[in-house]
Amino acid sequence: MVSSTLLTISVACGLANAAPASWKGGWKPWPKHGHHEEGSDINVQLGPRPYYLVDDMDEGPLKEKLESCSNGPFHTSSFSIAHRGAPLMFPEHSREGYVAAARMGAGVIECDVSFTSDRELVCRHSNCDLHYTTDILAHPDLAAKCTEPFTPYDPETGTPASAKCCTSDITLSEFKGLCAEMEATTFNAVNTSEYMGRIGSTPDWRTNMYAYSCAETMSLRDQIELVDSMDLNFTAEAKTPEIPMPFEGDYTQTDFIQQIVDTFEGEGIDADRVWLQSFLDDDIYYWLDNAPDFGQQAIYLDERADANASAYDAVVATLPGLADRGVKIMGPSSWMLVTVDNSTGKIVPSSYATTAKEAGLDIITWSFERSGPLENGGGYYYESVDSKINNDGDEYTVIDVIAKQVGAKKIFSDWAATITYYANCMGLE
């Protein structure tokens, strides 16, 4: 049961989690003062969720420490990265989600970068996710351009409804006319209206509260302008294309990842404010060799052990060589960083974490607040410690190990308030 004390305190600290959905176009929520992050004027408001998680923790020193911070004050922390904006409650990669994340104290805000048919850069988690993260199928002229048109559910075979709509199917102008939606799919839809009526398909541990109005989609330039206006910092992932490259025969992967650098430079953003990301080692090496100011902060996202858990030790063995090649930051998912000490029963750093530290590699990890209720072990992000995970408050136990013992420099979260609360309490700027 959640105690009334901390929830009462959370009300006093501010329940507003988000900006109104009417914040559109070139409107800037905060004036720019020529600084970023550390001097941000944002009135950080964390809402009740961090307090709920603390209340739900097992008794012990960590819970006592986090309880002691309940009255704040809270401020923006660069330790807190907004993963896709604020997709626990807001459509991902929308202006509304980015502003909500800033209000919750995220010091770094993410744009997953893909490209349109006219080779402009936009913020989407996948090159081909428009059919389940936007309203593209509600626009017949644009739906006709999708890589794979809508196919209705077949009740006789049980084949689910499907479509495949990519950013590279449409122009930037067409993309900007779409509304961002909560990530969801209606598998039994027999027409596009039902397929688009995905409010009921959103996981029940998320919310559709902010999904009924038209959330604004963003180009990379839009996102840079917005985040810069709020004096915050950037992380941009070069999304691995789901279409054959080179695109149209002459737009190569190198062109794509260089264009990301060019866009930040063209907007006057210093490289030390940007953490580029990629799952492709060649992308990281390119930035190190050809855009070294950006390459020094590039995050090598690492999911090499996901497909085959037996590959874990082999992946760990590659870390010193990656450091020798010049890689500075590894970005594994959270499960790769922790394990259970069989002698003590405690969650501790994994061999990946200790080997990375010994090799001089920094760690930035992903993604918290993406697993839903943790009562049954937490799923993917907790798979290496699932025997120790049985309540939502255990999230802070894992965060604490990753922050203090692993020494992660930053943590991605789908709800920035959770990480911001911890960072402020532990003095992580």
Using an 8 Å Cβ cutoff, are 58 and 393 in contact?
yes
DSSP 58: P
Contacts of residue 54, Cβ cutoff 8 Å, sequence gap at least 6:
6, 63, 66, 67, 70, 393, 396, 421
Using an 8 Å Cβ cutoff, are 10 and 71 in contact?
no
| Domain parsing of the chain, residue ranges | 4-126+217-425
Q: Rounded CA gap, 171 and 183, in Å?
A: 22
Q: Which residues pair with 364 in a beta bridge?
A: 410
Q: Rounded CA gap, 63 and 43, in Å?
A: 25
Q: What Å distances lie between residue 351 and 318, 336, 355, CA to CA?
A: 12, 9, 6
Strands 329-332 and 299-302 come out as: parallel
Confidence band, pLDDT 50/70/90 cuts, at residue 40: low
Rg of the Cα atoms in the chain: 21
Q: Rounded CA gap, 99 and 78, in Å?
A: 16
Give this prediction's pTM.
0.91
Q: Tell me the three state secondary structure of residue 347.
A: strand
**Torsion angle, alpha carbons of 289, 294, 296, 299, to 10:** -100
Q: What is the mean pLDDT of residues 392-409?
A: 99
Alpha helix positions (H), 230-380 = 253-266, 281-290, 292-295, 312-317, 319-325, 351-358
High-pLDDT (> 70) share of the chain, %:
91
Nearest to 259 by CA among 226, 227, 294, 231: 294
Give the number of other Cβ atoms within 10 Å of residue 353's Cβ.
Answer: 27
Which pLDDT score, from 0 to 100, does residue 10 have? Answer: 39
Residues 222-264: pLDDT tens digits? 999 999 999 999 999 999 999 999 999 999 999 999 999 999 9
Which pLDDT score, from 0 to 100, does residue 13 have? Answer: 39
Q: What is the mean pLDDT of residues 156-168?
A: 97
Nearest to 334 by CA among 360, 291, 366, 361: 366
Strands 362-368 and 274-278 come out as: unpaired
State the chain's mean pLDDT as an integer: 92
CATH 3.40.50.410 fits 4-126+217-425, yes or no: no
9 alpha-carbon distance from chain centroid = 28
Which pLDDT score, from 0 to 100, does residue 198 have? Answer: 75
Confidence band, pLDDT 50/70/90 cuts, at residue 21: very low
Q: What is the mean pLDDT of residues 355-360?
A: 99
Residues 95-126: pLDDT tens digits? 999 999 999 999 999 999 999 999 999 999 99
Q: Tell me the three state secondary structure of residue 272.
A: helix
Nearest to 163 by CA among 197, 139, 128, 193: 128
29 pLDDT more than 80: no
